[in-house]
A and B are shown apart, each in its own frame.
Chain A
């Protein structure tokens, strides 16, 4: 009996030391692997963040520093001629001297930039608010009493949602012209408010609510409005946030619509205006760009998880 016991024990002991070695080896390999992947991810992160960080840091340069560094970049883009000076464009990560002169000029001395910023706000905010409202109602309509016709309409919404602006802008333009609202803010507001995107996303959220919940409410005597107001809306709070964020980014970034629907450049939002900043104002450009970045970045930092959730829901286009 004793002898028989011996053999397995020896094997066990050997095994243990081997396992330990292997474990160590594995751990080391895992460590190296993690390190490499982290490095690659860090490289990507640097590439991704660089343009943003550069814009922000450069906004703290004084106007003269900027025009001496980049003056020629914007001088040539405007005329389109190939008049290159053989000077270098000095890209600097950190300004020689931190100065707030750009911001002071933008915020206090030349009101036109703030005016354009206000244009952006006044174009975007009503769209976000009313699109949410219209979309919430429509999503409820799509969720309750689903039928063949509604599914077909929903499919049309999806197709419209996926169309590039250049296609949808043609109908928008025709109607705006017909309603005599071309060159007014209404031409941007109305198509924005009725844009099918929010409806689609909202419906996808709302259809996740179990029907039994709504049926139970109905049996307990709740009317449609009560079901909508007391059950669907509270359950869709998260959806509200993600949809609002997605709409906000989209319209804060808009370029095509104002270009075509607002011929009066006084009403253009800052996003369009920024591309037309010319030589003399380059000094201010970075500060304006940074100020324009602030609202979406704040929204992003506050609602990143909502944003991610919203994108994930978009993931399954099918209802």
Chain B
């Protein structure tokens, strides 16, 4: 990395400035810039990209010793696996509930902090703090809160609701959604706050002068300017919703109640059995879903970004 050049001769070269030399210099600079890129590129290739091709290979052979080419058999095997179906269904269900909530609630929080309320920066700190706290630290308190004899049941009992065993019944999804929101709302809120503050003030002032109601301002101006951020937040939340495994694992271990058995549990348990075929096929299917999602993100951002900024 220490391709230091002598600054004096560099300057002289520019002064002479013949076309060929300039080209040569640009080429050299380009080469050096690749040198800066090299350590990271090598690491990423070694640890992420190249082994991914091995993963693709593994997903298409019957076992690592025989290396019989079976093409899509492993995918079919995984896709017809009961546990996989359950996991996929749960993950989709969870995302369908958690993501819209995450977007709407965080937008709400951001709008609240937009208003001139006292202690704004303190509120921001409070809302952001769950992001900082390691999940493992607060998991104890969540267990206490949502225990069968815990405070949440006491609280709902006040309104005459029956006791629910939150973590070991179909209500477990509710708990996970709450945990997800708790952890992620702050992050989304910051994104929305940045977007809200970038709306041109004069447009809002004109709207007020033209006696637009707050609701009209919200729908016709703010939402329009926020559209690309809303999309971004939606997709990021979707991606993050695939990552809730950590919370569930810490709460309930490797084999949680059926309704919160997620894709990642499936993968994790496949690691346990060292079933490379199952693992690679599942990983590839999952990465394909991710690539599609990311693709949608980019296309829509392109589309909406031009609309507003132009």
Contact = CB atoms under 8 A, between A and B. Distances in A.
B141 A164 contact: no
Nearest to A38: B117
A174 B3 contact: no
Interface in A133-159: 134-135, 137-138, 140-142, 144-145, 147, 150, 153, 156-159
Given A153-B41, A170-B280, A293 B47 contact: no
Contact of A91 (B4, B128, B151): B151
B37 A142 contact: yes
A308 interface: yes
Contacts of A221: 7-8, 10-11, 14
A135 B39 CA distance: 9
20 contacts: A34-B116, A41-B117, A44-B126, A48-B186, A82-B165, A89-B149, A91-B150, A137-B40, A141-B36, A145-B26, A150-B37, A166-B264, A170-B55, A199-B40, A225-B1, A249-B131, A249-B132, A253-B134, A289-B137, A317-B301
Contacts of B11: 220-221
Interface of B: 1-8, 10-11, 14, 26, 29-30, 32-41, 43-44, 46-52, 54-55, 109, 112-113, 115-119, 123-145, 147-151, 154, 165, 167-168, 182, 185-187, 190-191, 194-195, 229, 232, 239, 242-243, 245-246, 249-250, 252-253, 263-264, 267-268, 271, 279-280, 283, 286-287, 290-291, 294, 297-298, 301-302, 305
A222 B195 CA distance: 38
A210 interface: no
Interface of A: 33-34, 37-38, 40-41, 44-45, 47-49, 51-52, 54-55, 58, 70, 72-74, 76-77, 82, 84, 86-89, 91, 134-135, 137-138, 140-142, 144-145, 147, 150, 153, 156-160, 162-175, 190-191, 193-194, 196, 199, 218-226, 228, 249, 252-253, 255-256, 259-260, 270-272, 274-275, 277, 285-286, 289-290, 292-293, 296-297, 299-300, 304, 307-308, 311-312, 314-318
Contacts of A142: 37
Contacts of B297: 317
